[in-house]
Amino acid sequence: MNGGSKRRPTSFDVAERAGVSQPTVSRALSGSPAIAEATRRKVIEAAEALGYFVDERAARLRRGSTGTLAVVVICREGDSASTINPFAYALLGSVCVAASERGFETLVSFQARSADFFGHYQEQGRADGLIVIGTTTNRQAWEYFRSLESDGRRVAYWGSPFEDLEWVRSDNRAAGRLAVEHLLAQGYRRPCFLGALGTPQVQFTERYEGYAEAMKAAGLEPCLAPTVNAATREEEGRRAARRLIERGEDVDAVFAACDAMALGAIEAFAAADIGVPQGMGVMGFDDLVAGRFSRPPLTTIAPDPAEAGAALVEAVLDDAAAARRRVPVKLIVRGSTARG
């Protein structure tokens, strides 16, 4: 041993100090019920005195588990940390908390370019399973992860654009119905849905379907203000709202497919001197923090990120028992629809 250096204690050192065998130390520290409680306490005290710690990763690998879940956040190419949908961060945090509560660490990767796509964490023994979340606009990324599907892989997806993947989603149709019911209750008579439909916008389409169902149930004709791709969701909402204004549509409220689009729409209405909420009601989906501080504050509908994160972890760890599950949503009323 080099002078001044200190050798790390081993399980054999603990065994010698506790007066037991090394296998007894291993069993005692792994929680084996075969070890008497008095012996376990003696081993733990010896380990603490020596500063010995179990190599938990190695122990888990011996038990056939890495103790880790991989989480991939799909981004749009060119996204910076500030332009990624804030809901993705909230969901990521919830996944990490839910994994921690189950005794798992998380390995997080942000992926946008095809050169960076990677999903073989389980095959390489780096994680017990994989959770994929993020934007549906990066079609190439979703196609990549879809191509990895095979028996034995433990994967769950938030908001997948593909029905054949094991997804967890918001109850989007319920959100659409809830939006219409709220707007009509506030005295609006011509709510219009603002957003894009079809693949890959499966969740937006489901929200529109719920909206259309509620409109028809109220004896009203559904209205669609379609968005087209732009650099940001805010810009998509801004442009769609401008087109509504320019066409002179008989619309007095907008339910946007997401909060970012709704915030862009509020800017467009303000620029056209259309007051919100008196002249135009606006609401979105996601409960972004920015919506809480917009002028006026944005009415929204959102799933509970904590419940969504827990459902994703459960879907991976419990053999997809929670897969294809819809997370309930709730209405959050703020100034952008408060006519009274």
**Domain boundaries, given as residue ranges, for the chain:** 11-54, 68-170+306-327, 172-304
Place of tokens 């529109």: 208
Query: Partners of 107 in the beta sheet?
Result: 70
Contact partners, residue 334, CB within 8 Å, separation at least 6? 291, 292, 296, 297, 298, 299, 300
Residue 58 has pLDDT above 60, yes or no: no
Measured CA to CA, the distance from residue 275 to residue 252 in angstroms comes to 11
pLDDT at 144: 95
> Would you list the DSSP string of 291-314?
HHSSSSPPEEEEE-HHHHHHHHHH
> In the chain, pLDDT over 90 holds for what percent of residues?
62
Give the other-Cβ count within 10 Å of 181's Cβ: 14
Residue 2 has pLDDT above 70, yes or no: no
Residue 129 has pLDDT above 60, yes or no: yes
3-class SS letters over 189-215: CCEEEECCCCCCCHHHHHHHHHHHHHH
Q: At what angle do helices 22-29 and 37-50 cross, to 10 degrees?
A: 100
Q: What is the pLDDT of residues 15-46, one digit of tens each?
A: 999 999 988 888 888 777 888 889 988 998 99
Residue 90 has pLDDT above 80, yes or no: yes
Residue 59 has pLDDT above 60, yes or no: no
133-162 CB burial, b ≥16 within 10 A, e <16: bbbbbbeebbebbeebeeeebbbbbbbbbb
Measured CA to CA, the distance from residue 284 to residue 261 in angstroms comes to 7
Measured CA to CA, the distance from residue 167 to residue 48 in angstroms comes to 44
219-239 CB burial, b ≥16 within 10 A, e <16: eeebbebebeeeeebbbbbbb
Highest-confidence range of 146-155, 192-201, 233-242, by mean pLDDT?
A: 233-242
**pTM value?**
0.78
Q: Within the chain, what is the greatest distance between any pair of CA atoms?
A: 87
Measured CA to CA, the distance from residue 284 to residue 255 in angstroms comes to 6
CATH topology of domain 11-54: 434 Repressor (Amino-terminal Domain) (1.10.260)
What's the token pair of residue 134?
A: 């993020």
Measured CA distances, 84 to 2, 66, 231, 232 (Å): 50, 29, 12, 10
Report the pLDDT averaged over residues 322-326: 71
pLDDT at 319: 65
pLDDT at 164: 83
pLDDT at 1: 43
Residue 159 has pLDDT above 70, yes or no: yes
Q: Give the length of the chain.
A: 340
**CATH classification of 68-170+306-327 is 3.30.230.70, yes or no?**
no
Query: Partners of 282 in the beta sheet?
Result: 254
Report the alpha-carbon angle 169-85-210, nearest 5: 40
Residue 63 has pLDDT above 60, yes or no: no
Confidence of residue 199 (pLDDT cuts 50, 70, 90): low
Measured CA to CA, the distance from residue 8 to residue 19 in angstroms comes to 19
- The CATH number of the structural domain formed by 172-304 is 3.40.50.2300
Residue 11 has pLDDT above 80, yes or no: yes
Measured CA distances, 56 to 66, 73, 103 (Å): 9, 27, 11
> Is 68-170+306-327's fold the same as 172-304's?
yes
> Radius of gyration of the chain from Cα atoms?
26
pLDDT at 5: 56
